[in-house]
A and B are shown apart, each in its own frame.
Chain A
């Protein structure tokens, strides 16, 4: 654990502005491809991504399958080791050995909610176990009845009542929506300030999605910062103040949600939004049908240019040579695209 003196020393040189933020700066994550027999080949799942999550606000990340959204979130919880880049919690580099941020300390601040409500709870343990462990780890001062009370209160808070009966159940005795609420309760018990929600509603029945989103909105209003990963631009706009659009490991457009979704500047964002189905039309999870998926490139560390060039209707020669710089198109709206210069 971090001694309080050390913590104070570190806190001292952090500006106020950085308190209550989770920042990613130029994150790069490479994965080894196992097909290579002699020479190790790598793929670049995330390439130079920067983002900031503020307490009490939500940042949505949208993008197709394989664009590196989950990888970003997992790097923030140390499940994956960044190849390059800095991750900061309240201004402190979480991977810097001098800051000595233990996994337990990090876990108390940052929690994850996963996509699959059937895979995120251990089938052999009761709901009680799933909430009891985080309390034991992160709130060691609580004892006996206090633990029980705190646990039941948390279950009530996420809308699982009667709490006592729910606590004694096994995951398979709950519905998908209820399980996802348990997953949220588990994240809440640690007192986490930031929750990374990786497609929390995409596997749920449409009728219960709004309930979960509203629950997350309540938590956001209580000061928790969210990273909301989704395929669905409509819910991103509904839930998140800011939205970032990712394509093959690159952040191509980001800014205030309304601005990004109402006036998209990047051709990829425009494509994503045009693919949002209208009411009555059959819903698809990705936009793979119109453009051939085979054009989605496998990004390597040595790849250059804009990853969208192969699919882009506004492509020009320069797009194959280097990644465009950031252009500010509105007060809080940024795009990386050469087409904007013309």
Chain B
């Protein structure tokens, strides 16, 4: 019963939407390749398999690092951790943003005042410096802690957006009708309000995902992560500290950089398409198509005369 309109919706979403299709394909490919890393790559990511800084070749598709490890295998295995951090940070952020935003917007009054002052405190903290200080303070931190730090520090903006949307929906008559009907508060929040927010929630989650991917790579690149764990960020860190560019081993640096850029780009493409649904001001595609069709019709009429 549920899947039927959902599939119809997906069909409408993807039809003629090149950006969304491209974005989804990129995301799916990167996730798939990372997930199947040990099947696709022959070598262990942390095993010395060649001499240092070998250029890409038939055996070593993307060359080797300075310590002779397989870059191809590293980028696939590193993706597992990097993506996991990005997704879990985004999940934490989204959960908190939704919980705080909807509660503040729906209950209003005291609860709203309290939650919003909390949100504002989190919001005014400069995020990146905070991340750096926290990470530096905790010493070299593992991916889990990085995901937690990012997740717990970046929900404030999303919470504000969701709060204002909730307040707009809260006074719609269908919510009043549900209240008059005697629906419980929690059902009203989860069944009546939340589905109406799904596009901004999903859009926000993807935006945070991009941000978390970058933030994680940034922290690790600065040497604040645990360098013994292979991720895209630590790959960049090692390449930089071994002066990969200076000695001409560009692949050591470019490969993890490109991985981040490609995945981030895929997310951005999909996010853009979702934005177009949730933000009616950006919904131009349909109008242009209608206009073209009308133009064709008018010209056909003119030709007939």
Which of the segments B27-35, B171-179, B217-225, B296-304 contacts the partner chain?
A: B171-179
Shortest A80–chain B CB gap in Å is 11
Q: How far is the CA of A265 from the CA of B170 in the complex (A)?
A: 41
CB atoms of B177 and A124 under 8 A apart: no
Name B161-190 residues within 8 Å CB distance of A. Answer: 172-174, 176-183
Complex contacts, B280 vs chain A, CB 8 Å: none
At the interface, yes or no: A77 with Cβ under 8 Å from chain B?
A: yes
Neighbour of A120 across the interface among B173, B182, B198, CB < 8 A: B173
Residue from the list B173, B192, B196 in contact with A114, Cβ < 8 A: B173
- Interface code A135-148, partner B: CB below 8 Å = 1, 0 otherwise? 00110000000000
A2 to chain B, nearest CB (A): 13
Bound-state Cα–Cα, A116 to B176, Å: 12
Q: How far is the CB of A17 from chain B (nearest CB, A)?
A: 27
Q: A79-B180, A111-B180, A137-B182 are in contact. Are A119 and B5 (CB under 8 A)?
A: no
- Asked if A103 is an interface residue, CB under 8 A from chain B, the answer is yes
- Chain A contact-residue range equals 20 to 34
Chain A residue with minimal CB distance to B192? A122
A134 adjacent to chain B (CB < 8 Å)? yes
- A300 at interface by CB-CB < 8 Å: no
Query: Which residues on the A side are within 8 Å of B176 (C-beta)?
Result: 74, 79, 112, 114
CA distance A114 to B176 in the complex (A): 9
Query: Could you say which residues of chain A place their CB within 8 Å of the CB of B5?
Result: 126, 170
Q: Which residues of B contact A133 (CB under 8 A)?
A: 178, 181, 183
Which residues of chain B in 68-88 are interfacial with respect to chain A, using CB atoms and an 8 Å cutoff?
none
Q: How far is the CB of A251 from chain B (nearest CB, A)?
A: 23
Known: A122-B174, A170-B5. A190 touches B181 (CB 8 A): yes
Q: A79-B179, A186-B177 are in contact. Are A119 and B196 (CB under 8 A)?
A: no
- Residue in B5, B176, B181 with the greatest tally of chain A CB atoms within 10 Å: B181
What size tier do the contact residues of chain B reach?
10 to 19
- The answer to whether B248 has its CB under 8 Å from any CB of chain A is no
The interface bits of chain A over 116-132 (1 if a CB of B lies within 8 angstroms of the residue's CB, else 0) are: 10011111111000000
Residue from B176, B195, B196, B198 having most chain A Cβ neighbours under 10 A: B176
CB distance from A91 to the nearest CB of B (A): 21
Residues of B near A119 (CB, < 8 A) are 172-174
Q: Which residues of B contact A108 (CB under 8 A)?
A: 182
**For the complex, what is the distance from the CA of A137 to the CA of B198, rounded to whole Å?**
26
Interface positions, chain A 168-201, Cβ under 8 Å from B, are 170, 183, 186, 190
Query: Cβ of A106 < 8 Å from any Cβ of B?
Result: yes
Q: Is the CB of B173 within 8 A of A106?
A: no
In the complex, how many angstroms separate the beta carbon of B110 from the nearest chain A beta carbon?
14
Query: Which of B182, B192, B195 lies at the interface centre, i.e. has the most chain A CB atoms within 10 A of its CB?
Result: B182
B198 to A, closest residue via Cβ: A124
User: In whole angstroms, what is the CA distance A336 to B178 when docked?
Assistant: 37
- B181, A137: Cβ atoms closer than 8 Å: yes
A7 at the interface (CB under 8 A from B): no
CA distance A110 to B173 in the complex (A): 16
Once bound together, how far apart are the Cα atoms of A115 and B176, in whole Å?
12
Tell me, yes or no, whether A260 is within 8 Å of chain B by CB. Answer: no
Taking CB atoms and an 8 Å cut-off, the chain A residues in 93-116 that contact chain B are 102-104, 106-108, 110-112, 114-116
Contacts of A123 in B (CB 8 A): 196
Minimum distance in angstroms from A140 CB to a CB of chain B: 12
Provide the residues of chain A in CB contact with B172, threshold 8 Å.
Answer: 119
A120 in contact with B177 given A106-B182, A138-B182 (CB within 8 Å): yes
Given contacts A79-B176, A112-B177, A186-B177, contact A103 B182 (CB under 8 A): yes
When distances are taken between beta carbons in the complex, the residues of chain A under 8 Å from B179 are 77, 79
> A111 to B173, alpha carbons, bound, how many Å?
13
The minimal Cβ–Cβ distance linking A102 to chain B, given in whole angstroms, is 8
Residue of B nearest to A189 (CB): B181
Closest to A77 in B: B180
Contacts from B to A (Cβ < 8 Å): 5, 172-174, 176-183, 192, 195-196, 198
A selection of 9 A-B contacts at a CB cut-off of 8 Å is A79-B180, A107-B180, A110-B180, A112-B180, A122-B174, A122-B196, A133-B178, A137-B181, A170-B5
Instruction: Give the B-binding residues of A (Cβ under 8 A).
Output: 74, 77, 79, 102-104, 106-108, 110-112, 114-116, 119-126, 133-134, 137-138, 170, 183, 186, 190
Given contacts A107-B181, A114-B176, A138-B182, could you give 11 more A-B pairs where the C-beta distance is less than 8 Å? Answer: A77-B180, A102-B182, A114-B177, A116-B173, A119-B174, A124-B195, A133-B178, A133-B181, A137-B181, A183-B177, A186-B181
- Please list the 8 inter-chain residue pairs (A to B) with the smallest Cβ-Cβ separation, ordered nearest first: A107-B182, A104-B182, A114-B173, A120-B173, A124-B195, A119-B173, A122-B174, A77-B180
